[in-house]
Structure 1
Amino acid sequence: MYYFVFQRQEELQRRAELLFEQQLARESKIVDSIASLTKAASHLEQIGEFLLNTCRYGSVNGGTFSPNNS
């Protein structure tokens, strides 16, 4: 009887450890995804600023921006 209880306790402990490791892996993936999204958002912001400045430059100079005319 005690052996069965001990065996069951070990099994539950192993399952708990496995679930904990799986949860840590999920959280790690979420953190990595957030970091990637943050980096992408930063790049999009930089592109937006560049485009806005390009439009302003074209408006100030009375023409459209053309990379071939620089």
Structure 2
Amino acid sequence: MQFIKAHAARLYAVAVSAIALVAFYVPDLPDELVLGLVAAVLGVGEAVQRTEDGKTAEAFAKAPNA
């Protein structure tokens, strides 16, 4: 779980790229499936953004005042 938290943005990028490639190279997929995956990806993107924001806030809190 620590690996996922540490590399959330990278894992998200790989997953989104894989979904895009599958949607492009498998044209027989139903539109509903592709749109459902897009909605799920947007939701996961929000979670990744919150994780990254938390890491940034934690780093700022630990940084000495400059």
Q: Give the TM-score normalised by structure 1.
A: 0.48
Over the aligned positions, Cα root-mean-square deviation in angstroms equals 2.4
Q: Which has the larger radius of gyration?
A: 1
2:59 matched to which residue of 1?
A: 44
1:14-33 correspondence to structure 2 within 5 Å: 15-33=30-48
Specify every segment of 5 or more residues in structure 1 that has no aligned partner in the other structure, as ranges: 1-11, 54-70
Name the TM-score, length of structure 2 as normaliser.
Answer: 0.50
**Residues 29-67 of structure 1: CA deviation (Å, up to 9, x unaligned):** 11110000001100100000xxx25xxxxxxxxxxxxxx
Percent of aligned positions that are identical:
11
Q: After the TM superposition, which parts of structure 1 deviate over 4 Å for at least 4 consecutive aligned residues?
A: none
Q: Which has the higher helix share?
A: 1
The structure showing larger relative contact order (alpha-carbon pairs under 8 Å, at least 6 residues apart) is 2
